[in-house]
Structure 1
Amino acid sequence: MTRTAVLICPGRGTYNKPELGYLHRHHADKASLFAGFDAARVAQGQEEVTALDGATRFSVAKYSRGDIASPLIYASALADAQSLADDIEVVAVTGNSMGWYIALAAAGALSPQHGFDLVNTMGSLMQQHLIGGQLVYPFTGDDWRPDPARKAALLALVDQINARAGHVLALSIDLGGMLVLAGDEPGLAAFEEAVPQIDGRFPMRLANHAGFHTALQAPVAAEGRKHLNGAMPRQPAVPLVDGRGAIWQPGSTDLMALWDYTLGHQVVEPYDFTRAVQVAAQEFAPDLFIVTGPGTTLGGAVAQSLVHQDWRGMADKAAFKARQSEAPLLISMGDAAQRDLATRAPS
């Protein structure tokens, strides 16, 4: 019996110390895929992806860099997407932030090598420019129930800070029960001073992250368009849901418009991951939501996005947990306990 699934690809911040060796542990059979990625890196004078993954020591300062993290996450996620069990039918693909680039390849709108070139180029450009920064702050409580008033108040604060002279602050990603904000140092610092600390963790700065999905990244978007070939995209094999909730259908996708979105709006405007998940749920009604590795941090945002639309009667965290314990609806391939639920048996 076929299981339908929406495939979800993660963004930056998902390849951390526990993920070191991910390619070697899970994808030793994909040497030919990784060889092309390694060759592209060597041609740019960069360290091979397999060498980075095979290192014996993890350093946050190194592995959080855009030119290091991005290709590692891409290789891990795409290899996972190619390892799904034979009874799983992917009915749509989406992703979070940089995960949109991975989604393009996972859905067939880019070849694996072209997808790598896109990710490696943009990750390197982001690191070279490193304009602005990001922080994360929750707007829901521990029960995950939506709190529109709290969200609106926080976004109003963001607008107030952004209106101050010498301050830049904007919504970067709508991420389930979290707001990812981006701006310059005065803007980020002003927000940190204005809001209460939560659990001793938030607001949380994200290491080596630039002001993604804001106008700060316009120079990076322009450089990306210069460096990358607009002829790379092709018709997707399965529908793609982008960071606005728009759906790109096989056979009828305007490839120029897809490329313009990918190196335009997607880079300089807010990314609504919550809406992407909710549209995928409503339009494709899958049996499963499968988040590729590396890491497991995106699973919470997916679950919260579903709770916030009362998906299948799940109105809070307890309802989601109860549903998940009966029969997993959400599978994180980066979670060793869940991985076997989505992958094919080794040959």
Structure 2
Amino acid sequence: MRVVVVCPGRGTYTKAELGSLGRLHPDKTALFAGFDALRRAEGQETLADLDGAADYSVARHTRGDNASALIYAASLADFLSLRDVEIAAITGNSMGWYTALACAGALTSDDGFRVVNTMGTLMQQALIGGQIVHPFMAEDWRPDLARKAGLLALVARIAARPGRVLALSIDLGGMLVLAGNAEALAEFEAEVPPEQGRFPLRLANHAAFHTALQAPVAERGGSLLPESLFGQPKIPLIDGRGALWWPKATDTRALRDYTLGHQVTEPYDFTRAITVAAHEFAPDAFVVLGPGTTLGGAVAQSLILADWRGMKDKADFQARQAEGPLLISMGREDQRGLVTGGRR
């Protein structure tokens, strides 16, 4: 089976994933121990302590310095568990770009962890602004580009007001992730009609990722993470613009500059990345690494927006999925074995 691998970002290690590093990856103890050695050197809690906690804590487990490390470890371990698949390309959502770099071999496992841990820590220390998620697709996942344009027009109107900062952070399938300062986020929440009983949804412990507000974080990350960390990918990579980075043809300085510059301060177009993956590589399936399963919907919605295999809405996707999985989420017990040789 020929697949595109998708690495998830923040918000995917939730209460349901507590203990999953030890439960799903008992053979990866040496890998995790290496990450924990790096965390101890920085005076941080270990993954073993976080994943092995008796209870899940939003305040503790969703912190940028903790969440990023947990997600990277879980995703990389899932990637290393893949069996009997041909990997055509790798992409990721937001923080998942750092994981994608390691999965593709552009960063070593330890250097990937260093990048993730550094950037997650810097963002937590600064915690500039916040994020909100709001859909432009209805629950049937039928594209509504007029609705999307209307929401972005509201964002622009709020951003034009004195003292207000609001912008698109991530184009995420049928969702818009918006980021800005507290005043602008509050005004968006007040002015947009509530939808589906839970939107607009404010994201806990999330900063204004992928906006100009993160320029200080990008500058600090650039001073701490040298170009020597970055190498040639062994597998094609698709970034948050939909741009391709090819093995043996990548300018590693440009890769670092994108990763620590544009990727931090400009909108992340996950929808475009999935569209390029579908049309450029024509995989049999998309494999979403763990932790969690929340990114699967955004991948499916992106494929609908790309008019992939003629799918127009959720019913079409579900019908195609029933024929043979187009989307395999490793966070789901009923799908994990499809790409791990039957292993957990």
Q: Quickly name the TM-score band, shorter chain normalised.
A: over 0.9
Which of 236, 239, 258 is the equivalent residue of 2:236?
Answer: 239
Correspondence for 2:188 among 188, 191, 199: 191
1:208 aligns with 205
Who is 1:40 aligned against?
Answer: 38
SS at match of 1:231: helix
3-state SS, counterpart of residue 176 of structure 2: strand
Alignment-mate amino acid for residue 192 of structure 1: E
Superposition pairs of residues 26-105 of structure 1, within 5 angstroms = 26-85=24-83, 87-105=84-102
Alpha-carbon distance in 2 for matches of 1:278, 1:215: 25
**Aligned-partner SS, 2:230:** coil
* 1:344 to partner: Cα distance: 2.7
Which of 120, 123, 126 aligns to 1:123? It is 120
Distance 1:93 1:266 in 2: 16
Q: Secondary structure at the match of 1:81?
A: helix
Is residue 2:292 matched to residue 1:306?
Answer: no
Is 1:143 the counterpart of 2:140? The answer is yes
Q: 27-36 or 256-265, which moves further after superposition?
A: 27-36
Q: Does the 8 A contact of 2:7 with 2:93 survive in 1?
A: yes
Match of 2:268 among 257, 267, 271: 271
Alpha-carbon distance between aligned partners in 1 of 2:244 and 2:53, rounded to the nearest angstrom: 39
Q: Which deviations, in whole Å up to 9, do the C-alpha atoms of 1:236-255 show, x marking residues without a partner?
A: 01100000000000000000
The answer as to whether partners of 2:137 and 2:174 remain within 8 angstroms in 1 is yes
Match of 1:23 among 16, 21, 24: 21
Output aligned runs, 1:327-338, within 5 Å: 327-338=324-335
1:245 partner SS: coil
Q: C-alpha displacement at 1:226, in angstroms?
A: 1.1
1:55 CA drift (Å): 1.2
| Mapped partners of 2:145, 2:325: distance in 1 | 28
Query: SS of the residue aligned with 2:167?
Result: strand
After TM superposition, the structure 1 stretch with the greater mean CA deviation from structure 2, 195-204 or 90-99, is 195-204
How many positions carry a matched residue from both structures? 344
**SS at the partner of 1:170?**
strand
Amino acid at match of 2:291: P
Aligned to 1:341: 338
**How far has the Cα of 1:346 moved from its partner?**
4.5
Q: Distance in 1 between matches of 2:280 and 2:48?
A: 38
* 2: CA distance, partners of 1:151 / 1:329: 26
One-letter amino acid of the structure 2 residue matched with residue 193 of structure 1? A
Cα shift at 1:112? 0.2
Calculate the TM-score normalised by the size of structure 2.
0.99
> For 1:287 and 1:108, how far apart are their aligned partners in 2?
23
The runs of at least 4 aligned residues of structure 1 exceeding 6 Å deviation read none
> Residue type of the partner of 2:316?
A
Q: How does 1:169-184 map to 2 (within 5 A)?
A: 169-184=166-181
- One-letter amino acid of the counterpart of residue 21, structure 2: L
Q: Secondary structure at the match of 1:263?
A: helix
**For 1:233-274, what per-residue CA distance to the aligned partner results, in whole angstroms no more than 9, with x for missing partners?**
110011000000000000000000000000000000000000
TM-score normalised by length of structure 1: 0.98
SS at match of 2:228: coil
1:6 is matched with 4
Deviation at 1:345, TM superposition (A): 4.1
Distance 1:22 1:60 in 2: 17
State the superposition RMSD in angstroms: 0.9
Paired amino acid for 1:83: S
2:104 and 2:285 map into 1 onto residues whose CA distance is 17
Distance 2:205 2:330 in 1: 25
Partner Cα distance (1:337, 1:56) in 2: 26
The sequence identity of aligned pairs, in percent, is 66
Decide which moves more: 126-135 or 29-38. Answer: 29-38
How far has the Cα of 1:54 moved from its partner?
1.2
Partner AA of 1:164 in structure 2: R
